[in-house]
Amino acid sequence: MSRSRRRAVLIGLAIVVAVVVGNVVAYAHNAQADLSATHHFSLAPQTKGVLDQVKAPLKVTAFLNKAGAEARDARFLLARYQELNHHISFSVIDPDADPTAARRFGISQYSTVVVMYKGRRVEAPAVDELDVSTAILRAVRGGTKTVCVLAGHGEPALDDQTGAGLSKVGDILRHNAYDVRTVDLTVGQPAVPADCAALFDFGPRDPFGPQEVQAINAYAKAAGRVMLVTSSLTRADPNPLTVPWGVHFLGGLVVDPQRSEGGDPTNVVIEDLPSASPVVDGVNRLQFPASAGVAVDPGLRDGLTVERLAVTSGASWVESNPDNELQFDKNDLPGPVVVATASDDSHVDTPSGLGSAAGGHIVRTRVLITASDTWLTNDFLDRLSNRRFFVNGLAWLTQEEQLLATTAQVSTDRSLPLTAERQARILVITVGLVPGLIIGAGLLAHFGWRRRRRRA
């Protein structure tokens, strides 16, 4: 082999080594600069921590309208997850274009994400970092929690697929690895099973017995988690269950002529979500039909905090006589009206006979109360952010809080209606003017060059 050839081989080898090493190092470090306005694709360190825990193939399937910008953003976001952990794969399916796949996954609506990991399935309500990362964490952690659902007071059933039923709520619970147990405290010895990670009462109609109230409160006091979804339609008095947690059920019917839907002032739309509670993370607006009002105790005991989650507009009121009229009068309570609260009660439980310095553990009770129950039904769960509100509440109660403190995304209007005039303007400039200028400049240069050559 000649010297020059040897040198060429060596240089070739050096190039191959440089290319391989350069790419391996870049692949391993996965550094990127995010120039997008919202830094939407720079995943948070907490997400990266979650992705480090993924050690086996994990499949993310997003169900979206493929033609929309949302599907493209979903692909961009999920591609970043894949870049950070190569065990992750993803696909975006349009339920309309591929109804078989949608049926196989049991998906009935857009914007649902299914995470599959080691045979476990977890759902996320939207394709954003918060929801996808939370779903991945749940899938990776594995295990199931038992949640108990109260029955015996005329509550709608979780398998009822009619508009007034709660089958969609049942699906959310099952798809998020919760075991659902129905608890009827009206029969036998009333006691809430201790292994209930949370106790739900979705729309009681009939009154609670005193022993039931005692059992529910005893469960709640012992670091229990309760979601009480009641409304003006109930004949039960929820106050014995809500007052210990700083919330008074006012009853009545909330009327909001300013923020309501379908010309029905009792079909209230809520835009004021004043708390920083994780229950309203990512929640923009809620629709609470036939809602009653609640009031937060002005003087709360130490350790008890109550967040006002949802408040109606200043033009609303609580109608005390809804059966006869919907006009504000002196018997009505003026708005804004609180229609959802989250109570968090923490105290240190010290062993009996010992002082507080002797140690003990923190007992934390969480109670989520909504004064409407219709928002959870099949007809209304997918309206506005109702589904998100429920999923957040579920996570908050069962202490699977969402991973990331969402930063406020600056919402920028990027709409650009492509009118015929705009379309024509684009075509005239880009297809006519610019190529024309290029050709004109080219001709000028060409003839100039020929003239110069002739002169030369």
Partner 1 sequence: MRQALTIGARDLRATYVSAFGIGCTAAFAALAGVLLVFDLRGNQARLDLWFSSLFVALGLLAALLAQRAFAEEERAGTLELLLTSPVRFWQVAVGKLLGVCGVLLAAIAATIVCPLLVSSMGNPDAGPIVTGYFGLLLVGVGFLSVGLAVSAATPNPLVAAAGTAAVLVALWLAGVLAGSLGGRLHAVLQYLSPTSHVTGFLRGTIAATDVAYFLSMTLVGLATVVVVLGARR
Pick between residue 324 and residue 412 the one whose CB is nearest to partner 1.
Answer: 412
The residues in 398-437 that bind partner 1, with binding defined as CB under 8 A, are 412-418, 422-423, 425-427, 429-431, 434-436
- For residue 45, the minimal CB distance to partner 1 (Å) is 17
Distance CA 357, CA 342 (A): 30
Helix (H) or strand (E) holding 198: strand 198-202
Distance CA 149, CA 166 (A): 12
Residue for token digits 């739309």? 269
Q: Tell me the one-letter amino acid at 129.
A: E
Size of the site for partner 1 (CB under 8 A): 62
- For residue 18, the minimal CB distance to partner 1 (Å) is 7
Q: Can you tell me which of 17, 23, 184, 218 binds partner 1, judged by CB under 8 A?
A: 23
How is the beta sheet containing 317-319 ordered, strand by strand?
253-255, 317-319, 333-334
Can you say how many angstroms the Cα of residue 114 is from the centroid of all Cα atoms in its chain?
13
Q: Which neighbouring-strand residues pair with 63?
A: 93, 112
* C-alpha R_g of the chain: 30
- Return phi, psi of residue 432, to 5°: -100, -65
Under the binding rule (CB under 8 A), the answer on residue 351 touching partner 1 is no
- Return phi, psi of residue 53, to 5°: -85, -10
DSSP 8-state symbol, 301: P
Length of the chain: 456
Distance CA 328, CA 257 (A): 11
| Contact track, partner 1, 361-400, x by CB under 8 A | ----------------------------------------
Under the binding rule (CB under 8 A), the answer on residue 452 touching partner 1 is no
- For residue 86, the minimal CB distance to partner 1 (Å) is 5
Sign of the dihedral defined by the CA atoms of residues 288, 294, 298, 299, in that order: negative
Distance CA 404, CA 134 (A): 8
What's the maximum distance between 2 C-alpha atoms anywhere in the chain? 113
The residues in 39-58 that bind partner 1, with binding defined as CB under 8 A, are 40-42, 57
- For residue 96, the minimal CB distance to partner 1 (Å) is 17
Pick between residue 99 and residue 435 the one whose CB is nearest to partner 1.
Answer: 435
Can you say how many angstroms the Cα of residue 282 is from the centroid of all Cα atoms in its chain?
6
- For residue 416, the minimal CB distance to partner 1 (Å) is 3
Distance CA 220, CA 203 (A): 18
Pick between residue 358 and residue 416 the one whose CB is nearest to partner 1.
Answer: 416
Residue for token digits 């909504």? 370
Q: Can you tell me which of 6, 10, 12, 109 binds partner 1, judged by CB under 8 A?
A: 12
- For residue 449, the minimal CB distance to partner 1 (Å) is 6
Pick between residue 43 and residue 139 the one whose CB is nearest to partner 1.
Answer: 43
Pick between residue 67 and residue 164 the one whose CB is nearest to partner 1.
Answer: 67
Coil vs helix vs strand at 250: strand
Tokens of 209: 């017995």
Pick between residue 36 and residue 356 the one whose CB is nearest to partner 1.
Answer: 36
Burial class (CB in 10 A: 0-12, 13-18, 19+), 404: buried
- For residue 62, the minimal CB distance to partner 1 (Å) is 15
- Stretch of residues binding partner 1 (CB under 8 A), selected from 137-145, 195-203, 316-324, 440-448: 440-448
- For residue 13, the minimal CB distance to partner 1 (Å) is 10
Tokens of 49: 């921590």
Helix (H) or strand (E) holding 266: strand 264-270
- For residue 8, the minimal CB distance to partner 1 (Å) is 6
Pick between residue 56 and residue 194 the one whose CB is nearest to partner 1.
Answer: 56
Distance CA 282, CA 385 (A): 8
Under the binding rule (CB under 8 A), the answer on residue 37 touching partner 1 is yes
The residues in 147-166 that bind partner 1, with binding defined as CB under 8 A, are none
Distance CA 85, CA 83 (A): 6
- For residue 83, the minimal CB distance to partner 1 (Å) is 7
| Contact track, partner 1, 229-268, x by CB under 8 A | ----------------------------------------
The residues in 64-123 that bind partner 1, with binding defined as CB under 8 A, are 67-69, 72-73, 75-76, 79-80, 83, 86
Distance CA 373, CA 377 (A): 7
Q: At what angle do helices 129-141 and 69-84 cross, to 10 degrees?
A: 50
Q: Can you tell me which of 161, 182, 449, 451 binds partner 1, judged by CB under 8 A?
A: 449
Residues that bind partner 1 (CB under 8 A): 8, 11-12, 15, 18-19, 22-23, 25-27, 29-38, 40-42, 57, 67-69, 72-73, 75-76, 79-80, 83, 86, 412-418, 422-423, 425-427, 429-431, 434-436, 438-439, 441-443, 445-446, 449
